[in-house]
A and B are shown apart, each in its own frame.
Chain A
Amino acid sequence: MRSEMSVQSLAAPGFFSDLQAFWAVVRREWTIFVRYPSWIIALFIWPVIFPMGYILTARALSGVNGTGLATFKQTTGLNEYVGYIAVGTMVWMWQNIVLWSVGGSLRNEQMRGTLESNWLSPTWRFSYLLGSSVPQFISMLMLMAIATLEYIFLFNVKFEGSLWLSLLVVLVAIPSVYGLGFAFASLVITMKESNAFVFLVRGIVMVFCGITYPIAMLPDWMQSVSKWLPQTYIIHGMRTAALTNEGISGIAFDLQMLMVFGIIWLIIGYLLFNRMERRARKTGAIGQY
Chain B
Amino acid sequence: MSEFAIEARQLIKKFPARAGTGDKATETSPKEKRRLFPFRKRAPKPMFTAVAGVDLQIRRGEIFGLLGPNGAGKSTTIRMLCTLLEPTSGSATVNDFDIVKQANDVRRSLGTVLAGERSIYWKLTGRENLEYFAALYHIPPAVAKKRVDELIERMELKDRANELVEKYSTGMRQRVAISKALLARPPILLLDEPTLGLDPQAARNLRELIAQLKQEGHTILLTTHYMEEADLLSDRIGIIDTGKVIALDTPEGLKRRIDQKEIIRLELSGWHDDLAEKLRNISGIENLTTHQQGEADLWEVNMQAQNSRTAIPRIVENISGNGTRLVNMNIVKPSLEDVFIHLTGKALRD
Contacts and interface: CB of A to CB of B under 8 A. Distances in A.
Interface of A: 1-14, 17-18, 20-21, 23-24, 27-28, 31-32, 35-36, 112-114, 116-123, 281-284, 286-287
A256 B238 CA distance: 62
Contact of A1 (B85, B209, B217): B209
B184 A9 contact: yes
A275 B30 CA distance: 32
Given A9-B185, A10-B147, A120 B84 contact: yes
Q: Say which size band chain B's interface belongs to.
A: 35 or more
Nearest to B112: A120
9 contacts: A1-B208, A13-B104, A21-B136, A24-B136, A32-B123, A120-B83, A120-B107, A286-B84, A287-B114
Contact of B86 (A11, A36, A282): A282
B141 A11 contact: no
A245 to B, nearest CB: 46
B185 A7 contact: yes
A11 B139 contact: yes
A2 B136 CA distance: 26
Chain B CB within 10 Å — which of A10, A35, A283 has the most? A10
Contacts of A116: 84, 114-115, 119
Contact of A117 (B114, B153, B208): B114
Nearest to A121: B136
Interface in B137-190: 137-141, 143-144, 147, 150, 153-156, 164, 177, 180, 183-187
Interface string B102-121: 00110111101011001111
Given A7-B187, A12-B140, A28 B124 contact: yes
Interface string B1-31: 0000000000000011000000000000000
B187 A284 contact: no
B199 interface: no
Contacts, number: 142
A102 B338 CA distance: 51
Contact of A113 (B118, B138, B156, B209): B118
- The 5 tightest CB contacts between A and B, nearest first, are A113-B118, A24-B135, A17-B138, A121-B136, A117-B119
Contacts of B118: 112-114
Interface of B: 15-16, 76, 79, 82-86, 104-105, 107-110, 112, 114-115, 118-124, 128, 131-133, 135-141, 143-144, 147, 150, 153-156, 164, 177, 180, 183-187, 205, 208-209, 212, 215-218
Given A28-B121, A31-B128, A117-B120, A9 B187 contact: yes
A11 B119 contact: no
A275 to B, nearest CB: 14
B115 A10 contact: no
Given A9-B109, A114-B119, A287-B84, A123 B184 contact: no
B138 A123 contact: yes
Contacts of A123: 136-138
A116 B190 CA distance: 14
A286 B187 CA distance: 25
Given A4-B216, A21-B135, A117 B115 contact: yes
A5 B208 CA distance: 16
A60 B155 CA distance: 66
Contacts of A11: 108, 137-139, 184
